[in-house]
Amino acid sequence: MATTITTMAMAMAITTIMLTEPALHLLLAWTSPSLPIGGYTYSHGLETAVDDGRVRSWADLVGYVDAVISRGGGWVDAVLLTQAMRVAHDELAFDALADLAAAFRASSETALESRQQGAAFLAVVRKAWPHPALEAYAVRRGDWPNAHATVFALAAAAHGVDESAAVHGFLHATSANLVSAGVRLVPLGQTDGQLAMAELARRIGPIAAAARACPLDDLGTASPALELCSFHHETLYTRLFRS
């Protein structure tokens, strides 16, 4: 398929990411499934696609996750994360992006998915990795919802995590969470899950580069089928996941 070939060709251009040791540890901790923000309870509509037979194999799972991160909700998050990191020092500009990210939600359940994880992320990072920028933001923000991507961006910028590393980390974590959901839902063997992650890791490079180059004026999704998956998840007869 044409798109796969392009992705593979672009993946040949491998970039080097520079990270200090402390920043590496922050990023690993903030993208780990052990971070207590409840990521394991969300499938971003994948449960619908498994239920109706569209996702049956690890290759199908790669197709679903690729759609999320290259032109669905994960893509929107990646673009907004980079834009937010660039203006993290500017309260007005950052808060406008935080508003945009919190509002840029396709459905009731994907809104819950991002905002509940955003609230939990902010709470746990304020405790374990405190920083004045996070405290000031939490006070300004009050009860208004937070997207996971922009509080992640603020924490990353405050603690000196490189932008490229942060985007890669966020996309990797999003992918790993959905692969884990897919392994449980289909179900797939643990090795199949890692085959999916290995393939997705090859695709994340060009997606992260494109997200960092995407102007806000071009931000948008191209995944109507994913949105309908999420809508239809609300009425699935049995559900393991909250989205």
Partner 1 sequence: MHAIPAHHQRLTGHQRLTGLSRVAFGADGISDIYQKAPCRLLFPDAAAGEFPLAVSLTTSGGLTGGDRVAVHVVVEPGACGTVTTQAAEKLYRVLPEDPDIAVETRLAVGAGGRCEWLGQEAILFQGTRLRRRLEADVAGDSGLLAVETLVLGRGAMGEAFTQGLVHDAWYIRRDGRLIWADALYLHGDGAGEGTLSPELPHGLGQARALATMLYVGCDAARHLDLARGLAPAPHGGATSFDGMLLLRWAAPEPQALRAQVMAAVCALRAAVFGLAPRMPALWTC
Q: Is 239 in the site for partner 1 (CB under 8 A)?
A: no
235 near partner 1 (CB under 8 A): yes
Q: What is the DSSP string of 120-179?
A: HHHHHHHHHS--HHHHHHHHHHTTS---HHHHHHHHHHHTT--HHHHHHHHHHHHHHHHH
Minimum CB–partner distance for residue 44 and partner 1 (Å): 11
> Smallest Cα–Cα separation from 35: which of 115, 136, 152, 133?
152
Considering only 11, 123, 133, 219, the residue that binds partner 1 (CB under 8 A) is 219
How far is Cα 189 from Cα 160, in angstroms, rounded to an integer? 37
How many whole angstroms separate alpha carbon 114 and alpha carbon 95? 16
Kindly state whether residue 222 participates in binding partner 1, applying the rule CB under 8 A: yes
Size of the site for partner 1 (CB under 8 A): 44
* Type of residue at 191: T
Query: Would you count residue 231 as binding partner 1 (CB under 8 A)?
Result: yes
Single residue of 50, 81, 106, 153 touching partner 1 by CB under 8 A: 106
Contact 61, 186 (CB under 8 A): yes
Is 218 an interacting residue with respect to partner 1 (CB under 8 A)?
yes
108 touches partner 1 (CB under 8 A): yes
Sites of contact with partner 1 (CB under 8 A):
1-3, 6, 49, 54, 60, 63-64, 66-67, 71-72, 99-100, 102-109, 111-112, 144, 217-232, 234-235
